Chain A
Amino acid sequence: MKVAYFPGCVARGNCPELNQATREIAPLLGIELVELEGAPCTGAGVIGQQNPLLADTYNAKTLALAEAEGVPLMTLCSTCIGCLRKSNYKLTHDEDWLSQVNKHLKPGGLEYHGGVDITHILFVILNELGVDNLKGMVKRPLSGLRVAPFYGCYMLRPQEIMGLDDPEHPDSLQRVITALGGEPVEYAHMTRCCGFPITLENEEASFKMAGAALGDAKDHGADCLVTPCPLCHMSLDMQQSRITKYTQRTYNMPVLHLPQLVGLALGVEPLKLGLQKHFVDTDLVTSTVVH
């Protein structure tokens, strides 16, 4: 299937391995990535705190670009999908707001009419490809690997805007893990916040949130985490050693981006998926899967 590709800032910035892994697996899954020239950052819910009209106009620009391509918009990030869907919700439920936004878009040669399907690679895999087809593509089953899903807030909440999975008891990541031959590990913190948005404002609370999730997953016997959100990845992987300062606990918990986990099972070499770039060693995962 053809999708308008929106990798987001982090997959082009601090987590380049996410972009790299997605480009590796897309052709294997039959996903054609249409590049969107000139699509800005979603604002991550931050720009809207200063100026909601500016945030929604920037997002409407991305939506108008996808609308012109006539294909769904595919993100790689829980925050990106959450922000784009929140803007889209307001634009499609408030005609006045849409006309205000379009007034500022039109001088740049764009207009948004509403109704673009905003999705995430997780739901392209589940809803377009299907778990049975995914299962048939597996070359290296994740046998014996206990994988703990970590969703990221905006993928699930608020349900009224997202509506892609049950916000209290989601199962989309577990279905993918199972199709890849792995064993999903369910734990209470899989739907909770990683703490990323307040890393600068309140480091202690932020790191304790991430530590609570890592500890819960470890207590439930997880070998690794998988997340559809690179911001969660930054909290859970890049900050993992610093979290110990506040929780007095070490985790040694590899945290994989969803496209990396899929890529491993589809037979892509770990190096091509950028696993060597992680802060927490992923050898435990690759040795379980590759052998």
Chain B
Amino acid sequence: MAEVTFRIQRCDPEQDGKPYFKEYGFDVPEGFTLLDSLNHIKAYIDDSLTYRFSCRSSICGSCGMRVNGHAKLTCMTQVMDVLRPDGSITIEPQGNQTIQRDLMVDTSLFWEKMRAVKPWLEPDPKKGVPEKEYRQDPAVFNSFVEESTCIMCGNCVSDCTSLEQDANFRGPAALAKAWRFDVDDRGGDQQQRLEMLVEDGGIWDCVRCNECVEVCPKTVAPMEAILKLRQAALERGLTNSIGARHVTVFTDSVTRAGVLDEKELPAKSLGVGNLGKLIGALPLAFTGMVKGKISPLPHKPIPGTEDLQRIRREIEKEATE
């Protein structure tokens, strides 16, 4: 038993709709999950508390909430594991979505973004419809088995840093699902989907903060799926974007000199189509030079750059063989 104070965010849209915190305290028995605790509060202390849950077994993905500021499935989180030193636990609804009531959010944004990446198999029009069922190659299945474990709980969407600042971002869950269908060789529309994903709000807008990897209760690691989509875009010729140019200029710079040329990178990544952005950054470069931070000279190459060039040559040659 431990005395725990639960600081729970409440919100009643029928009143003024402004979120506020209410505290509930009770002696929590050993082995209680956060969901057990919410159920206890609802049953014995305050039956007006509203939240969503179903399976209690981390399968349905309904009970995702922010616990001490980070998204978790409450059914698989032990109270003692998240108890703060002052004996409290703060529970809020998931982020990046509209609150319906208390700890329950409107999931329509999640599903809209999911549907937009066309998470289903479209047959290849050139091949036509097969006479029998599509067969799945086990090796191909194993290449996206981790992404297939997604239970659509929305924890990654809740804590996504890019989505927090740009509602246009497709978000980690939808992009991980897109990777799962991109690599599935039974589909026939992979290139069209990928062309859609390299546009603004797509794969190049992920900030690579690893928040989604950390809060995923399964083994999806959405950010890693986004990185694989970026590699696929580069390999399949979708290179006309700032993000794609950024990768190629970066790799070339390090291969050539062993260090990143920070002056070359913005100019070549932005390209002539983004001259305005480049001009906008010029005062920063000027101030940096005046302050003695930015040298007008290029980086001095590290010793042994010919070895880096040999390594790259060999790896790229091997890949084409």
Contacts of B258 in A (CB 8 A): 38-41
Counting chain B CB atoms within 10 Å of each CB, which of A14, A43, A45, A276 scores highest? A14
Do residues B246 and A200 form an inter-chain contact, with CB atoms below 8 A? yes
A residues 198-228 near B (Cβ < 8 Å) are 198, 200-206, 208-209, 212
Of the residues A10, A192, A205, A276, contact of B262 by C-beta under 8 Å: A10
Of the residues A47, A167, A168, contact of B254 by C-beta under 8 Å: A47
B residues 226-262 near A (Cβ < 8 Å) are 227, 230-231, 234, 241-243, 246-248, 250-251, 254, 258-260, 262
Whether A248 sits at the interface, judged by CB under 8 Å, is: no
Whether A54 sits at the interface, judged by CB under 8 Å, is: yes
Of the residues B243, B294, B302, B312, contact of A201 by C-beta under 8 Å: B243
Of the residues A15, A206, A278, contact of B207 by C-beta under 8 Å: A206
Complex Cα gap A198–B302 (Å)? 27
Whether B284 sits at the interface, judged by CB under 8 Å, is: yes
Whether A28 sits at the interface, judged by CB under 8 Å, is: no
29 contacts between A and B (CB under 8 A): A9-B299, A10-B262, A12-B259, A13-B295, A16-B293, A38-B302, A39-B302, A40-B258, A40-B302, A40-B308, A44-B260, A47-B247, A49-B234, A108-B304, A108-B311, A157-B211, A157-B214, A158-B210, A169-B84, A198-B206, A200-B266, A201-B242, A202-B162, A205-B169, A208-B166, A209-B164, A238-B293, A239-B284, A279-B291
Q: Which residues of A are at the interface with B, using a C-beta cutoff of 8 A?
A: 9-10, 12-17, 37-41, 43-54, 57-58, 61, 104-105, 107-108, 153-154, 157-159, 167-169, 188, 192-193, 195, 197-198, 200-206, 208-209, 212, 238-239, 242, 276-279
Do residues B242 and A200 form an inter-chain contact, with CB atoms below 8 A? yes
Do residues A107 and B310 form an inter-chain contact, with CB atoms below 8 A? yes
Contacts of B204 in A (CB 8 A): 198, 201-202
Of the residues B84, B213, B254, B288, contact of A157 by C-beta under 8 Å: B213
Do residues B207 and A108 form an inter-chain contact, with CB atoms below 8 A? no
Complex Cα gap A206–B164 (Å)? 11
Whether B138 sits at the interface, judged by CB under 8 Å, is: no
Contacts of B169 in A (CB 8 A): 205
State whether A279 and B251 are in contact (beta carbons under 8 Å apart), knowing that A49-B234, A198-B207, A200-B242 are contacts in the complex: no
Do residues A168 and B70 form an inter-chain contact, with CB atoms below 8 A? yes
Complex Cα gap A214–B227 (Å)? 28
Whether B205 sits at the interface, judged by CB under 8 Å, is: yes
Whether B209 sits at the interface, judged by CB under 8 Å, is: yes
Do residues A212 and B165 form an inter-chain contact, with CB atoms below 8 A? yes
Whether B277 sits at the interface, judged by CB under 8 Å, is: yes
Complex Cα gap A197–B166 (Å)? 15
B270 to chain A, nearest CB (A): 6
Counting chain A CB atoms within 10 Å of each CB, which of B242, B254, B288, B316 scores highest? B254
Known contacts A54-B315, A154-B210, A192-B161, then 20 further A-B pairs from the complex at CB < 8 Å, ordered by chain A residue? A10-B262, A12-B299, A13-B262, A14-B262, A17-B293, A45-B208, A57-B315, A58-B254, A61-B311, A107-B314, A192-B209, A193-B211, A198-B204, A200-B266, A201-B243, A201-B246, A202-B162, A202-B200, A212-B164, A276-B292
Complex Cα gap A46–B230 (Å)? 10
Contacts of B164 in A (CB 8 A): 209, 212
Q: Provide the B152-193 mask, 1 if CB < 8 A to any CB of A, else 0.
A: 000000000110111001000000000000000000000000
Whether B303 sits at the interface, judged by CB under 8 Å, is: yes
Do residues B250 and A46 form an inter-chain contact, with CB atoms below 8 A? yes
Do residues B307 and A277 form an inter-chain contact, with CB atoms below 8 A? no
Whether B87 sits at the interface, judged by CB under 8 Å, is: no
Do residues B165 and A50 form an inter-chain contact, with CB atoms below 8 A? no
State whether A277 and B292 are in contact (beta carbons under 8 Å apart), knowing that A44-B260, A105-B311 are contacts in the complex: yes
Do residues B262 and A54 form an inter-chain contact, with CB atoms below 8 A? no
Do residues B254 and A153 form an inter-chain contact, with CB atoms below 8 A? no
Contacts of B206 in A (CB 8 A): 198
Whether B148 sits at the interface, judged by CB under 8 Å, is: no
Counting chain B CB atoms within 10 Å of each CB, which of A38, A61, A197, A201 scores highest? A201
Complex Cα gap A209–B288 (Å)? 22
Complex Cα gap A159–B215 (Å)? 11
B314 to chain A, nearest CB (A): 6
Contacts of A43 in B (CB 8 A): 250-251, 254
B217 to chain A, nearest CB (A): 14
Q: Which 9 A-B pairs have the closest CB atoms?
A: A157-B210, A193-B209, A38-B304, A205-B166, A205-B165, A208-B165, A108-B307, A9-B260, A40-B258
Contacts of B295 in A (CB 8 A): 13, 16
Do residues B247 and A238 form an inter-chain contact, with CB atoms below 8 A? no
Counting chain A CB atoms within 10 Å of each CB, which of B260, B314, B315 scores highest? B260
Do residues B214 and A46 form an inter-chain contact, with CB atoms below 8 A? no
Do residues A159 and B214 form an inter-chain contact, with CB atoms below 8 A? yes
**Residue ID in chain A nearest B205 by CB atoms:** A202
Complex Cα gap A180–B210 (Å)? 31
Of the residues B210, B304, B310, contact of A153 by C-beta under 8 Å: B210
Q: Provide the B104-143 mask, 1 if CB < 8 A to any CB of A, else 0.
A: 0000000000000000000000000000000000000000
Of the residues A16, A38, A53, contact of B303 by C-beta under 8 Å: A38
Contacts of B9 in A (CB 8 A): none
State whether A200 and B292 are in contact (beta carbons under 8 Å apart), knowing that A108-B307, A153-B209 are contacts in the complex: no
Complex Cα gap A202–B201 (Å)? 9
Q: Provide the B283-321 mask, 1 if CB < 8 A to any CB of A, else 0.
A: 010011001111100010011100110111011100100
Complex Cα gap A222–B47 (Å)? 41
Complex Cα gap A278–B288 (Å)? 8
A44 to chain B, nearest CB (A): 7
